[in-house]
């Protein structure tokens, strides 16, 4: 028998305290607890951010952090197939370029930057298609046609330069599972399955693939086959009947299948099974039953399945599957402490664990303030001048409040400085009165952007503060009012707001340039935001009481988990992975509630091991 040192290449070390993390295969002896410890493998599901569009149908991608969805029929209505594409980066879904063909049951597969979609049909009139589209990560273009038009082209896997798929059903009688292979230019015939099969689940590569389950003649829906590049071979049956599920895997010894329906149809199931090249293993059940979901050819130890019907969000859910020595905690919003006073149109700055909330509105403009320590809010000294929908910057030890509306409705130029214990009037006022502006930065390097002027128009201007006065900054390409944004004086982002609701602009300390458009328009009452710079931000809420959250990476917005309660006229602070939403309300009304956002995390799963 091989020793640990022979296998790993080093001996087991002795420590008095566990290291903060471990690597696969590493072990140590904890002399304090008298235990042999190391990273232990966990298997499990965790929630991902919802999709933008409800889907039934295929996916593509070969890593968990680079997946895609080829939009198919919306499961909640009999509407035709969509041409939209969505891309998943491990945190959320972003809008991708449209396909040219709106076809149902279109097979899709390949990496996120080299994918294909082929076959499919339309309902009115019923027509099947041989067309192929190729995706290079930024656009879809036409590819070589299939040899046979396919009602359901069952499974496309591999990469666009070496992909394969099989004709699962033609118009009229089902065919016998003919296979076609793609070389990046043309489809040619491959080995036939030899059995009529449709609504099956397929993954792998052109020379090493698996299909499992499906509606099969002369066999049941537990049947599975492997492909070696030229011929199909029957392998052991699965434990459960299933068709129209979702599957992942990059070879014929690395495969996992999720959900599906039973044959004859008797309902959707939540069974999950994996194949290691020799045998099937029943894994933990999926969090819910579903059919017709999507997935890609990611490794069976780290993949994603999404959409389907009739899962709880009816085609929007995303679920990650991991087999790892790390415990994965999904990103989520959770309830925070209760603010001592109710308000909306309030302002806050700081971090998730050290924040200050000030001003706002109920039936009148407020001067009230409160401080947060990450668990609870306590009342703090009031603003010298009541204000709402102004700008803020800084930390709980050194903050700044500027602009907004003060009673009885004055668009003020006031600046107030916070030193950690009291507010002081700052004589270095803004150049113009502003309401509904975006502010960010620090007490000595702040940025004021946009807003509404007393005449009713919106500003394109920005102003920069250096602790000694305000000077003109770069002009926005369009005027903005009640837009969300955050960052620092030299790297900021502003998004949404009136009038457009979706446009984004980034600031580099001297000029504003257009960024990616928001997925959800937020033109009305203010949304909240949190972020460290123009490459890392989240935006949440906004009118009319939206729950949706989006994250920005400096290029595109993608989905994040939704708020627990929809909120407009709100405020936020912190970072894109540790954000805080404070108070607000629907278009009318106010609240004392806060919510905390924590991004997806992975921590080493350290466990005790037995010795023999």
Domains of the chain: 4-39 (no CATH), 44-330 (2.120.10.80), 333-585 (2.120.10.80)
Stated length of the chain? 612
**What share of the chain in percent tops pLDDT 90?**
55
Q: Which DSSP string corresponds to 382-451?
A: PPSS--BS-EEEEETTEEEEE-SEETTTEE---EEEE-SS-EEEES---SS--BS-EEEEETTEEEEE--
Report H helices in 202-243.
Answer: none
Residue 555 pLDDT > 60: yes
Q: How far apart are CA 219 and CA 237, in angstroms?
A: 10
Please choose, from the candidates 112, 93, 84, 94, the residue with its C-alpha nearest in 3D space to the C-alpha of residue 49. Answer: 93
Residues whose CB falls within 8 Å of the CB of residue 325, separated by 6 or more in sequence, listed in order: 22, 24, 39, 40, 41, 42, 604, 605
| Under 8 Å between Cβ of 247 and 238 | no
pLDDT in tens, 162-184: 556 654 444 444 455 678 888 88
Q: Find the distance separating the first CA and the last CA of the chain, reported in whole Å.
A: 13
Residue 568 is predicted with a pLDDT of 93
Is it the case that residue 216 has pLDDT exceeding 80?
no
Query: Collapsing DSSP states into helix, strand and coil, what is residue 341?
Result: coil
In this predicted model, what pLDDT tens digit does every residue of 423-479 receive, in sequence order? 999 999 999 999 999 999 999 999 999 999 888 889 999 999 999 999 999 999 999
Q: Residue with structure tokens 């879904």?
A: 93
**DSSP element (H, E) containing 488:** strand 484-488
**C-alpha distance from residue 156 to each of 86, 197, 297, 390, 597 (Å):** 18, 15, 9, 53, 37
Q: What is the pLDDT of residues 390-412, one digit of tens each?
A: 999 999 999 999 999 999 889 99
Tell me how many degrees the CA angle 391-557-305 measures, rounded to the nearest 5. Answer: 140
- Cα-trace Rg, the chain: 28
**Structure-token match 């290291």, residue found:** 19
Determine whether 555 is exposed, middle or buried from the number of CB atoms within 10 Å of its CB (0-12, 13-18, 19+).
Answer: exposed
Contacts of 77 (CB under 8 A, 6+ apart): none
For residue 171, what pLDDT is reported?
Answer: 45
Tokens 């359901």 -> residue = 152
Q: Which of 13-17, 35-39, 213-217, 345-349 has the lowest average pLDDT?
A: 213-217
Q: What number is the average pLDDT over the span 132-156?
A: 80
């Amino acid at each position: 028998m091989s020793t640990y040192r022979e296998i790993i290449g080093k001996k087991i070390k002795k420590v008095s305290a566990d290291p903060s993390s471990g690597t696969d295969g590493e072990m140590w002896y904890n002399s304090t607890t008298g235990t042999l410890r190391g990273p232990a493998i966990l298997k499990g599901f965790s929630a991902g951010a919802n999709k933008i569009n409800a889907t039934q149908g295929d996916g593509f991608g070969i890593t968990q952090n680079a997946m895609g969805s080829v939009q198919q029929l919306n499961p909640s209505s009999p509407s035709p197939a969509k041409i939209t594409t969505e891309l998943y980066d491990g945190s959320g879904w972003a809008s991708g370029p449209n396909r040219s063909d709106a076809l149902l049951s279109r097979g899709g597969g390949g990496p996120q930057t080299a994918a294909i979609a082929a076959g499919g049909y339309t309902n009115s009139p019923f027509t099947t298609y041989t067309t192929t589209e190729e995706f290079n990560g930024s656009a879809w273009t036409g590819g070589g046609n299939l040899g046979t038009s396919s009602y359901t082209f069952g499974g496309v896997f591999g990469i666009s330069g070496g992909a394969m798929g099989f004709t699962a059903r033609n118009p009229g009688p089902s065919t016998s599972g003919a296979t076609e292979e793609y070389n990046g230019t043309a489809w040619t015939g491959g080995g036939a399955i030899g059995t009529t099969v449709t609504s099956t689940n397929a993954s792998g590569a052109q020379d090493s693939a698996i299909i499992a389950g499906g509606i099969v003649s002369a066999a049941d829906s537990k049947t599975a086959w492997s492909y070696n590049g030229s011929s199909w071979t029957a392998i052991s049956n699965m434990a459960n009947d299933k068709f129209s599920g979702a599957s992942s895997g990059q070879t014929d010894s690395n495969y996992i299948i999720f959900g599906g329906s039973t044959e004859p149809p008797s309902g959707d199931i939540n069974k999950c099974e994996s194949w290691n090249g020799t045998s099937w293993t029943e894994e933990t059940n999926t969090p819910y039953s579903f059919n017709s979901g999507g997935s890609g050819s990611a490794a069976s130890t780290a993949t994603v399945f999404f959409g389907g019907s009739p899962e709880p969000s009816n085609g929007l859910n995303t679920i990650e599957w991991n087999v790892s020595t790390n415990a994965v905690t999904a990103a989520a919003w959770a309830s925070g402490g209760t603010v001592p006073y109710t308000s909306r149109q309030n302002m806050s700055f700081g971090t998730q664990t050290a924040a200050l909330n000030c001003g706002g509105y109920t039936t009148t403009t407020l001067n009230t303030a409160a401080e947060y320590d990450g668990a609870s809010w306590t009342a703090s000294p009031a603003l010298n001048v009541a204000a709402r929908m102004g700008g803020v910057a800084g930390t709980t030890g050194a903050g700044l409040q500027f602009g907004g509306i003060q009673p009885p409705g004055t668009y003020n130029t006031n600046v107030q400085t916070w030193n950690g214990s009291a507010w002081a009037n700052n004589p270095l006022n803004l150049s113009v009165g502003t309401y509904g502006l975006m502010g960010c930065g620090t007490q000595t390097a702040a940025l004021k952007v946009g807003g509404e002027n007393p005449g009713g128009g919106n500003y394109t201007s920005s102003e920069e503060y250096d602790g000694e006065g305000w000077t003109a900054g770069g002009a926005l390409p369009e005027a903005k009012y009640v837009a969300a944004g955050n960052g620092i004086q030299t790297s900021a982002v502003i998004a949404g707001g009136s009038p457009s609701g979706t446009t984004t602009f980034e600031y580099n300390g001297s000029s504003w340039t257009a960024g990616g458009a928001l997925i959800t328009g937020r033109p009305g009452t203010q949304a909240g935001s949190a972020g460290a710079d123009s490459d890392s931000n989240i935006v949440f809420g906004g009118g009319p009481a939206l729950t949706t959250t989006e994250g920005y990476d400096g290029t595109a917005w993608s989905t994040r988990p939704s708020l627990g309660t929809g909120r407009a006229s709100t405020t936020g602070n912190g970072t894109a992975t540790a954000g805080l939403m404070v108070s607000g309300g629907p278009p009318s009304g106010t609240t004392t509630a806060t919510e905390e956002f924590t991004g997806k995390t992975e921590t080493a799963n350290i466990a005790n091991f037995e010795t023999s």
